[in-house]
Amino acid sequence: MKIVQLQAENVKRLRAVSIEPDGNIVEITGRNGQGKSSVLDAIWWALSGTTHIQAVPIRKGENEARIRLDLGEIKVVRTFKKREDETFATTLVVESEEGARYPSPQKMLDALLGALSFDPLAFTRMDGKAQMEALKRFVPGVDFAAIEKANKEDFDRRTAWNRDARTLRSQAAGIEIPADAPAERVDDAALVAEMERAGEQNALIERRRANREAAAAEVKRLDIEAERIRAEIAALNDRLRDAEGSADQKRGQLANAETLPKQIDTAALRERIADAGRVNALVARREERARIEARAAEAEATSAALTKAMDERTAAKREAIAKADLPVPGIEFGDDEILLDGVPFDQASSAEQLRTSVAIAMAANPKLRVIRVQDGSLLDEEAMRILAEMAQASDYQVWIEVVQSGRSAAIVIEDGAVRGTMLVAAAE
């Protein structure tokens, strides 16, 4: 499907034009400011929707504008009306060849349009990343934006995990442990309990010793008392003997009493408890370092898993790109730019760049076989020949804007209207 006729009234600099293109190259020429760009914009605005229309689409001094495109199978009419606030309203009508109107005209055009805005010369001037973006449309089933977003998020997360891992490894390295440090803790609680039991036993021995000393003192007192009684009252010999017998009995009991045990040496226990504290402190440092190293290993494992996920997404993307039917043999995706036969695109010859860009433009417009070139004056004779050959071979219609042209069929725009072809202009 190509443009059979273009009619435009009061669009930008145009007053009224009617163009019925003949051939594959439709060359629009004329001095600057006469309306050449307005012709190409009119085609784009008729088809592409309101988001691409400039703020002032209506010719200065006019209140209405109209574009009519005859594409053979369909006819497109877009009108503009100026509002009081200097903005504009636009309406769109799309009719079939039989005159039936489409209920959703812009939706129908969007399905038809493809990438009419694609300008081969603009593509050659894009940076590598922008060119890659333009080529992504030829790789179906790959959501490049989602992959890049997920990889960016995982990259940021991996950076954080790696930072944590480095911090933890540094903390672990800062915990110094002697090579001969024990690996197992000492049960210092049992030692403390043993120390408490020893103290209790020693206290009991001390109490028993005190009791014995008190009993001996009592015996001595009784001996003195008995001696006094014997001296004073002879009559009480029997009682004195009883008292002496009682005292002797007590002395015998004390003499026969069991030997008190020796007190437990708690100093040795204290030393063992102190040693246990030192051992357990070393073990605690070893355990703390092990915990930190375990956390570092976990962070490193998480980082590795994120790396794997990013690599898998990238590999899947590359596989899809490798399988894609790209429009030009030898073209491929690099890391940040496209390659042509393994060489960065911007290092290819001008002819190779032009052929590649035109082929991409044609592939991007499989239904509406129309391409626009807005800076055609930049093309030399060789480039124009290549463009004409490719348009002829693939049956595409190329609308191209140039300031000057030596071609007789070039359409001359002057003061917003069609003056005629270069052949007519030359005759005048």
> 103: domain CATH number?
3.40.50.300
| Same domain? 229 vs 258 | yes
Query: Of 254, 283, 317, which residue sits at a domain end?
Result: 317
pLDDT at residue 163 in the model: 95
Looking at the domain assignment, is residue 93 inside a domain?
yes
> Of the candidates 260, 285, 317, which is a domain's last residue?
317
Q: Among candidates 66, 49, 68, 72, which has minimal Cα distance to 3?
A: 72
Do 289 and 403 sit in the same domain of this protein? no
Q: Are residues 272 and 188 in the same domain?
A: yes
**DSSP assignment letter at 182:** -
Residues 203 and 313 in one domain: yes
Q: How far apart are CA 236 and CA 233, in angstroms?
A: 6
336-to-131, 149, 153, 246, 254 alpha-carbon distances in Å = 9, 16, 19, 117, 106
What burial class does residue 372 get, using C-beta atoms within 10 Å of its C-beta: 0-12 exposed, 13-18 middle, 19+ buried? buried
Would the CA dihedral through 272, 278, 283, 284 be positive or negative? positive
Report yes or no on 147 lying in a domain.
Answer: no
Do both 107 and 31 map to the same domain?
A: yes
Chain-centroid distance, C-alpha 43: 40
SS3 content of the chain, % helix, strand, coil (to 5): 55, 15, 30
pLDDT tens string 86-115: 899 999 999 998 889 999 999 888 888 765
Does residue 276 lie in a domain region? yes
On whether both 299 and 330 belong to a single domain, the answer is no
Among 257, 285, 317, residue at a domain's last position: 317
In a domain, 420, yes or no: yes
Which of 118-152 are b and which e, b meaning 16 or more Cβ less than 10 Å from the residue's Cβ?
bbbbbbbebebeebbebbbebbeebeeeebeeebe
Number of domains in the chain: 3
256 and 290 in a single domain? The answer is: yes
In a domain, 335, yes or no: yes
**3, 47: one domain:** yes
Which portions of the chain are predicted below pLDDT 70? 114-117, 186, 188, 191, 194, 230, 233-261, 263-264, 422-428
pLDDT given for residue 185 in this prediction: 74
Ordered alpha helix ranges (H), 233-371: 237-256, 266-323, 350-364
Q: What is the pLDDT of residue 220?
A: 81
d(CA 185, CA 187): 7
Q: Are residues 360 and 374 in the same domain?
A: no
The reply to whether 424 falls in a domain is yes
d(CA 396, CA 410): 17
> Phi and psi dihedrals of 4, rounded to 5?
-90, -40
Bridge-based pairing state of the strands 370-373 and 397-401: parallel
Query: Among 118, 119, 19, which residue's Cα sits nearest to residue 68?
Result: 19
Q: Is 148 among the domain residues?
A: no
Structure tokens at 302: 């998480």
Cα dihedral across residues 353, 356, 362, 366: positive or negative? negative
C-alpha 51/C-alpha 62 separation (Å) is 22
Spatial neighbors of 209 by CB under 8 A, at least 6 apart, are: 260
333 and 308 assigned to the same domain: no
Q: Pick the closest to residue 116 from 33, 32, 42, 65 (CA basis).
A: 42
Examine the domain organization and report whether 166 and 268 are in the same domain: yes
Q: Domain of residue 196: give its range.
A: 153-317
The predicted pLDDT at position 114 comes to 65
In a domain? residue 99: yes
Question: Tokens at residue 368, please?
Answer: 């509406």
Contacts of 78 (CB under 8 A, 6+ apart): 45, 46, 66, 67, 90, 91, 92, 93
Closest CA to 164 of 297, 291, 311, 310: 297
- 412 by DSSP, 3-state: which? strand
158 and 296 share a domain?
A: yes
Q: What are phi and psi of 78, to 5 degrees?
A: -120, 130
